[in-house]
Amino acid sequence: MSIGQTTKHRTLGLTDEQVVHMYRNMLTARKFDERCLLLQRAGKIPFHVSGIGQEAAQVGAAFALEHGRDFFLPYYRDYAFVLSVGMTLKDLMLAAFTKAEDPNSGGRQMPGHFSHKRLGIVTGSSPVSTQVPHAVGIALAGKMKRQSFVSFTTYGEGSSNQGDVHEGMNFAGVHKLPVIFMCENNQYAISVPLHKQVAGRIVDRALGYGFPGVRVDGTNVLEVYEAVKEARERALRGDGPTLIEAVMYRIAPHSTSDDDMLYRTKEEVEYHRERDPVSMMKQYLLDSGLWSEAQDEALQAEIKREMNEATQYGDLAPYPKPEDTLTHVYADEREDRDQWL
């Protein structure tokens, strides 16, 4: 690796601490994923959808955004993203164990359906791509109220074919809204490979909406960081949306219910596992002289400790009460109405 490459983060304005922090978040997300797969197999949690292979893009994007100001509309694989904008392992474990204290939904939704108002994480659902117009609406509101922030949303390449993506992007393009659309193109939509899913190139769709499309290597955290940072600057300058296509590979099966060997080969998966973004990031740190194997072991141990704590906390936390089923269909009469009036 050349010197240029090993200090790329500095040329992007990232400190050494930040880039280590990026790695830490990627690793934490990876370990969370691995833990959940174990917990699911052990019957301790019902279900898990994994983000393995997508951590680089998620962390790169999160570091380019402003926490406490920007709005985030992530999709179900974005563990590394939400961990990087303030969600904790405990929060995620509470969701995995579907417990009352889960800040995402109070144990109502499947895990991976992120929500945390204080952190700017907007509640998401399962039907894919519905969040895209929401991101546009938040950006519109910000523009109307002359607030300086962006809204950032992600979705898979399969999901990019939903009508809502088209309608949302066109709306954002017409009004030059501060939105960043990031498609995490991981080559599969469950079993359907890219070429049966998407005609043309996703990145080229931006042209038709009059704003730039950028294709980046989604396994390279710094490349994604740079693209999102530029997109954010454009948005804040009033120059409108950006579409980022982050190309990557879904290393794990679609979910704990999926047998991916029905539609792809071990060899194909192995090929990509060797290009694992977390390992590549570690290598970058090692090559830059910012990291050592000893530090890595210490970090792994620390994450493990945290993970155990979070797991235990999630496991032992109480469930909602059965009658909670009936709450929050509508506002409590006094509550919000008075707030707004």
Partner 1 sequence: MAVITYLEAIRSAMDEEMARSGDVFVLGEDVGKGGVLNATKGLRDKFGEDRVLDTPLAESAIVGVAIGAAMYGMRPVAEMQFADFIFPATNQIISEAAKIRYRSNNDWNCPIVIRAPYGATGGGALYHSQCPESVFFGTPGLKIVAPSNPYDAKGLLKAAIRDPDPVLFFEHKKCYLGVTGPVPDEDYIVPIGKADVKREGRDITVISYGLTVQYALQAAEQLAKEGYSAHILDLRTLQPLDVPAILEAASRTGKVLIAHEDNKTGGVGAEVAALIAEELLYDLDAPVMRVCGPDVPAVGMNPPMEKFFLPSVDKMLDAMRKLAQY
Pick what 167 binds: ligand TPP, Mg ion, a second copy, none; C-beta below 5 to 8 Å, kind-dependent: a second copy
The residue whose two tokens read 């899913």 is 197
Alpha helices of 145-287 — where are they, by DSSP H? 163-174, 194-197, 221-237, 266-273, 277-287
Q: Does 161 bind a second copy (CB under 8 A)?
A: yes
DSSP state of 116: B
- Pattern 184-223, binding to partner 1, x per CB under 8 A? -----xxxx---xxx-------------------------
Strand pairing class (242-247; 179-185): parallel
Q: Are 281 and 22 in contact (CB under 8 A)?
A: yes
DSSP string, 8-57: HHHHTT--HHHHHHHHHHHHHHHHHHHHHHHHHHTTSSS-----TT-HHH
Interface with a second copy (CB under 8 A), residue from 207, 261, 298, 301: 207
- What part of residues 148-177 is at the interface with Mg ion (CB under 5 A)? 156-158
Strand pairing class (179-185; 71-73): unpaired
Interface with Mg ion (CB under 5 A), residue from 98, 154, 186, 220: 186
Active-site residue, 209 included: no
Q: Does 105 bind Mg ion (CB under 5 A)?
A: no
- What part of residues 24-63 is at the interface with partner 1 (CB under 8 A)? 46-47
Task: Identify the CA nearest to 45 among candidates 106, 92, 7.
Answer: 92
Q: Does 178 bind Mg ion (CB under 5 A)?
A: no
Spell out the residues 6+ positions from residue 198 whose beta carbon is closer than 8 angstroms to its own: 157, 158, 160, 161
CB of 257 to partner 1, least distance (A): 7
- What part of residues 121-160 is at the interface with partner 1 (CB under 8 A)? 122-123, 125-128, 130, 132-142, 144-145, 151, 158-159
- What part of residues 247-306 is at the interface with a second copy (CB under 8 A)? none
Distance CA 182, CA 28 (A): 22
Active-site residue, 263 included: yes
Q: Does 53 bind Mg ion (CB under 5 A)?
A: no
Active-site residue, 254 included: yes
Sign, CA torsion 296/301/304/309: negative
Interface with a second copy (CB under 8 A), residue from 199, 294, 329, 341: 199
Pick what 77 binds: ligand TPP, partner 1, Mg ion, none; C-beta below 5 to 8 Å, kind-dependent: ligand TPP
Residues classed as catalytic: 250, 254, 263
